[in-house]
Structure 1
Amino acid sequence: MSQRLIIFTRYPHAGSTKTRLIPALGATGAADLQRQMTEHTLAQARALRQHQGVDLEVRYTGADGETLARWLGSDVDYQPQGDGDLGDRMAAGFAAAFAAGYQAVVTIGIDCPDLDTPILTQAFAALSAQDLVLGPAIDGGYYLIGLRQAIPALFQNMAWGTDQVLADTLGRASQAQMSVTQLPLLHDIDRPEDLVIWDRFPRMQIPTLSVIIPTLNEAPHLERTLEPLHQAGVEILVVDGGSRDGTPDLARRLGAKVLETTPGRAQQMNLGASHAQGSLLLFLHGDTRLPSDFVQQVQVTLAQPKVVAGAFRLHIAGAGWCLRWVEWGTQVRSHYCQLPYGDQGLFLWRSTFEAVGQFADLPIMEDFELVQRLQSQGRIALAPAVVQTSDRRWRTLGVLRTTVINQAMILGYGLGIDPHRLARFYRGRSAS
């Protein structure tokens, strides 16, 4: 019997996914939970395919099919959910599958972590003899529905999201004289009180994003830098290296967690990473502003095959064709040489950061050195969005002089010149 399993999910945008869980997890945490549950559900489905030969389809919303394939893999079919309420979209999924020749079709969501491969196997086995199979949920709905033919009446004018969905569905099935099998009663995760269910899944930790900002006298820029971070609900760690302009107090007033240490960007960022709670780390300069959708950009970029780290495209605040040439050169270097610099917002998984040994204890070139080590682990990808950084260096020294100094640092480091000597040269040139 030709069989298809349809998985309904939403792309995990922070702020628009699992909104009822945002009070407990924050916008990013709720989106990360959506991502984890989708990946867990698809893992169960792939195991079913391996043993039973069931075809898999993901019906999605919140992104395009290419994005979904980069996230979840290209070995399943992707179809948009379409318009209408949940019933309209499920009915459309069943109709398309039966029109394609499938004889047994099961549709599930991703909210039920106890829905495993054996239960899915049981659902398809039941359809060999029954017209309808339902997986009842504790909240009065259902986590699974399976059919042998399209029955639009099961989905029309249903009070979705209420505790009457299962009962109403069974009533309609009875009126249509359909034979029914019910699967084990399981919990969905929809509300904060449901999160205790995750205690049974210790391997599935909810990853969050921590943004680590090393600062030294960044008060004029910090509020603008922190604004999109607050809107995204991520963890913010400002690691100050001895500012005299009130940067630590300003960061605290703006809601960031502040750590204070001696100056040195490498040790500041390593200290921030050691205190971060997130499974994803993003290192950001104090004068650089991220795009509003940076969480999505990080997730999509790191979901690409063989990617171990990423950074953003660079936009330098200020007018003039010289700055545009610098931006173009940065993009070429980052894309073709996979050598983004720290002012582009470097991001990676915490596990990767720890595996490569964190930032080396260098007075300069710490970002360049880390990226070189990361290249041996995989690909460094460039996100399509841009970060906007201050033009103060180029404005103070001039574009040509700043570019020459930067290239001299790279050349000197490549030739093996002592980084402490390079740092003295750089700071002396930058101050003169």
Structure 2
Amino acid sequence: MSPLPVKEALIVFMRYPEAGQVKSRLAASVGFSEAAGIYEKLLRRTLGVVTDFITGRPHVQAYLFFTPPGRRVETEGKFPGPWQFQPQEGKHLGERMGRADLWARDRGFTRVVLVGTDVPALEVKDLEDAFDTLNCVDAVFGPASDGGFYLIGLRRSFPPLFSPSEWGVAEVLGRSETMLVAAGRTAFRLRTLGDVDRAEDLSLLGMERLFQDRLTVVIPTVSSPATLKELLCRLQVQTWPGDEIIMVCAEDGMDGTGPGPSLQRGEGSFPRNGGETCGETAGEENTLPGEVDLRSGVTPLRCIRAPRGRGLQMNAGVAAARGNLLFFLHDDSLPPAGFAYSIRKTCGDPQVSVGCFRLAFSPSNRALDAVAAWANFRSRFLKIPYGDQGLFCSKAVFEILGGFRFPFLMEDLDFVKRAGRLGKVAVLPQRITTSPRRYLEKGVLRASFQNHALMFLHLLGVDNRKLYSAYYGAVFPVREDCAP
């Protein structure tokens, strides 16, 4: 009889990042809001590492054990990913970890690894080593520099290990190892990492580039912000503290369709999670909403005006951007979970000049699936992604390239082509979902043919305004600031 397959579970212990409820020792020095923002960055980076690990080991089931239990809706909305959510139970940390371990055992998992969320240097290899080590020892620890541990893995359950009530002391790791040895069990230590609990630990963040990056999401649009509720709410709760969102609304009258979206006071503050709002409005003209505290848990959203034309609007957005990383997002697309981590990680590769995500339509059908499959093939092997795949790059690369050169169409193709001369074009495996509305209105075959015809004409050097007229069936007014 063949042995039963080994079931492995990765449990992430996290707390909802609410000011005054996390990192109390750190907050004593930097304040509640700042401490909550720091913890959220640590949490998001950890979840990014977990996502990368699960991608490489899809048989491992991940769980987020969160607290407080009453913030389940907010936690699931703010931290989606390849995991399931479970509330923590127990009076102290040891009891909560013990109950989580038993919860996993009751569901047939034989190897269980628990990991914390306050270590800035955790890597995929640390998680791989933990599970691999459990092939030959009973327990594995990831030692923290303060005498505790950031990770514990057990091949067999050992409830006494979690019985002590004191866990914020320097003897935690040594005490745990002594209990295991006394019970005749073997243990192994992984590499030691520092965790962030006090102000003197903040220097660890300076050693990790992801914590220094600031992402600006640029959304060119001809729509009112009030019509983009789902997109804006998703962006505001899934970006990192310190990131920003800039909607670039088209100025009025350029194509004869009338004025652009109104930016009056109060517009753009959208309800979320049973009454909370995604932002605060400041009432400043051409700003929607206004500045929001970077540490409040809600990403600032600003709305500016620019001449109509996606290339022109995106250039204007970058001119107003404060971030060192740029993410260009169409207003009918939704980025994948964890996109802010993926962009940070990819832009940190010095060999990469520009990146994008794989494409998917929602809703979809077989014809649209074929269009997406071709787009993903073209992006991966020909390195020709389109803008609806969510282009991103560093601001430094954008400035070297001189921004988008074409105002109306093919600005994305031209940009990627030039960026490809500077470095690699990275196509990430996560899928960005976009609306199929234009394909469904025109017909999939017709829309696809039109896209490729325009690309061919663009490569032949046809003027951008002529392409606009062919695409939209309208003559664009001549403006000096719209010249390619």
TM-score (norm 1): 0.60
Tell me which residue corresponds to 1:128: none
* CA separation of 1:327 and 1:396: change in aligned 2, threshold 3 A: same
1:309 is aligned to 354
Picking from 209, 215, 222, the partner of 1:216 is 222
Q: Which structure is larger by alpha-carbon Rg, 1 or 2? A: 1
Paired with 2:239 and 2:321, the residues of 1 have a C-alpha distance of 14
2:37 aligned with 1:24: yes
Aligned partner of 1:230 among 219, 232, 236:
236
CA deviation vs aligned residue, 1:301-348 (integer Å, no higher than 9, x gap): 556784332212222334543323322221221121111111111122
Residue 88 of structure 2 aligns with which residue? Answer: none
Match of 2:248 among 214, 239, 252: 239
The alignment status of 1:374 with 2:403, answered yes or no, reads no
- Larger proportion of helix: 1
Q: Does the 8 Å CA contact 1:212/1:281 hold for their aligned counterparts? A: yes
Alignment partner, residue 112 of structure 1: none
- For 1:81-92, list aligned pairs within 5 A: 83=112
Q: CA deviation at 1:350?
A: 2.7
Higher mean C-alpha deviation, range 228-237 or range 405-414: 228-237
> Which residue of structure 2 lines up, in the alignment, with residue 328 of structure 1?
373
* Mapping of residues 20-419 of structure 1, within 5 Å: 20=23, 23-25=36-38, 27=40, 29-31=41-43, 63-64=52-53, 83=112, 109=144, 137=146, 141=147, 161-165=167-171, 190-191=196-197, 193=199, 197=203, 206-219=212-225, 221-234=227-240, 235-242=244-251, 244=259, 246=261, 248=263, 250-251=267-268, 254-255=278-279, 256-299=301-344, 301-302=346-347, 306-419=351-464
Higher mean C-alpha deviation, range 213-222 or range 255-264: 213-222
* Identical residues among aligned pairs (%): 25
- What root-mean-square deviation, in Å, do the aligned CA atoms of Structure 1 and Structure 2 show? 5.1
Does the 8 Å contact 1:298/1:383 carry over to 2?
no
Q: Is the 8 A contact 2:325 2:395 kept in 1?
A: yes
Task: Give the match for residue 39 of structure 1.
Answer: none
Equivalent residue letter for 1:330: A
* Contact kept in structure 1, 2:248 and 2:305, CA below 8 Å: yes
In structure 2, relative to structure 1, the CA distance for the partners of 1:215 and 1:247 (3 Å cut) is farther
Offset at 1:380? 1.6
User: Are residues 356 and 15 of structure 1, via their aligned partners in 2, closer, same or farther at CA, if it must alter by over 3 Å?
Assistant: farther
* SS, match of residue 355 in structure 1: helix
Mind listing any 5+ residue stretches in structure 1 that lack a counterpart?
A: 1-9, 37-59, 69-81, 101-105, 110-134, 145-154, 177-186
Give the distance between the partners of 2:196 and 2:327, measured in 1 at CA: 29
Tell me: CA distance 1:22–1:313, structure 2 relative to 1, closer, same or farther (3 Å).
farther
Shift of 1:430: 11
Residues 297 and 62 (structure 1), Cα distance of their counterparts in 2 relative to 1, 3 Å cut: closer
Amino acid at match of 1:384: P
What's the CA shift for 1:219? 4.8
Instruction: Indicate if the aligned counterparts of 1:242 and 1:263 stay in contact, CA closer than 8 A.
Output: yes
Question: How far apart, in 1, do the equivalents of 2:44 and 2:474 lie?
Answer: 45
Question: Residue 227 of structure 1: CA displacement?
Answer: 2.8
Distance 1:61 1:217 in 2: 36
Q: After TM superposition, give the deviation of residue 360 of structure 1 in Å.
A: 1.9
Which stretch shifts more, 188-197 or 415-424?
188-197
Q: CA deviation at 1:223?
A: 1.1
SS state of the match for residue 64, structure 1?
helix
CA distance in 2, matches of 1:370, 1:417: 17
Q: CA deviation at 1:201?
A: 6.9
**2: CA distance between counterparts of 1:395 and 1:424?**
21
Question: TM (normalized to structure 2)?
Answer: 0.54
Please identify, of 300-309 and 263-272, the stretch whose mean Cα deviation from structure 2 is larger: 300-309
Aligned match of 1:79: none
Question: Aligned letter for 1:64?
Answer: F
> Any unmatched runs of 5+ in structure 2?
1-10, 24-33, 58-110, 117-125, 151-160, 183-192, 253-258, 271-277, 280-300, 477-484
Residues 288, 390 of structure 1: 8 Å contact kept: yes
In the alignment, the residues of structure 1 paired with residue 474 and residue 204 of structure 2 have an alpha-carbon distance, to the nearest angstrom, of 55
Amino acid at match of 1:356: L
Q: Which amino acid is 2:112 matched to?
A: D
| Structure 1 counterpart of 2:324, one-letter code | S
Q: Given the superposition, is the C-alpha separation of residues 325 and 342 from structure 1 closer, same or farther in structure 2, using an over 3 Å criterion?
A: same
The Cα shift of 1:370 comes to: 0.6
Give the CA deviation at 1:368. Answer: 0.8
Q: Aligned equivalents of 2:225 and 2:208: distance in 1?
A: 41
Q: What secondary structure, in the 3-state scheme, does the structure 2 residue paired with 1:83 have?
A: strand
